[in-house]
Chain A
Amino acid sequence: EAQVTQNPRYLITVTGKKLTVTCSQNMNHEYMSWYRQDPGLGLRQIYYSMNVEVTDKGDVPEGYKVSRKEKRNFPLILESPSPNQTSLYFCASSPENQETQYFGPGTRLLVL
């Protein structure tokens, strides 16, 4: 089954404790991205990657890192999480034509 998977789905952590949210797709898509969804703000892009070893900042990259060492994986790293990073995070992928993105199920993060 073609899908985008994210882990974990739910995470509670404390300020400053490094964490990684994994994202994997099995559709051989070139393009992957991370979004956060917050009430009243919709979906905002954090980082995106157009291919292996190619990443770029989205609208709200501060406090996040990403890497794209393999085509299928695009982890999101929070080196020192803060409460304002409490949010719902979505990973997405798409073929070279990046308009039609396939989203993962989301990761709900709470930073205390």
Chain B
Amino acid sequence: DQQVKQNSPSLSVQEGRISILNCDYTNSMFDYFLWYKKYPAEGPTFLISISSIKDKNEDGRFTVFLNKSAKHLSLHIVPSQPGDSAVYFCAASLTGNTPLVFGKGTRLSVIA
């Protein structure tokens, strides 16, 4: 049973436009959500996170939105740049030292 779902395996966006990556989760007990970015031949790197007590967190060009009632979060990248081309993983966790649960990832291609 997949608790964190990224239903779009890939996404193509033109440079300068907005990229929106989506993530759905099934466990309403998740209270912390993260996005990781992964380039080929490298490990994932932390991008941005959000606590369940918030509905939005912004860091430069990256904004994460959380809709708890819909069990949905999204990552917005504005404006998109070619260097943003990577695989993006959504992850969720429960309070306490419990393992992160990752989605399958979405491959973003930003076209110049």
A residues with CB within 8 A of B? 4, 31, 33, 35, 40-45, 48, 50, 58-59, 90, 92, 96, 98-106
Residue B89 lies at the interface, judged by CB distance under 8 Å to chain A: yes
| B interface secondary structure, majority | loop
Q: Is the CB of B105 within 8 A of A42?
A: yes
Q: A48: which of B6, B42, B99 is its contact (CB, 8 Å)?
A: B99
**Is B11 engaged at the interface, CB distance under 8 Å to the other chain?**
no
The chain B residue with its CB closest to the CB of A51 is: B97
Q: How far is the CA of A27 from the CA of B97 in the complex (A)?
A: 18
Q: Beyond the given A40-B9, A43-B44, A50-B97, please list 20 additional residue pairs across the A-B interface where CB-CB is below 8 A.
A: A31-B97, A33-B99, A40-B104, A42-B104, A43-B105, A45-B99, A58-B99, A96-B97, A98-B93, A98-B100, A99-B34, A99-B49, A100-B49, A101-B46, A101-B100, A103-B36, A103-B45, A105-B41, A105-B43, A106-B43
A45 to B92, CA, bound (A): 13
Could you name 14 residue pairs across A and B whose Cβ atoms are closer than 8 Å?
A4-B43, A33-B99, A35-B102, A40-B104, A44-B102, A45-B100, A96-B97, A99-B49, A100-B34, A101-B100, A103-B36, A103-B43, A104-B43, A105-B43
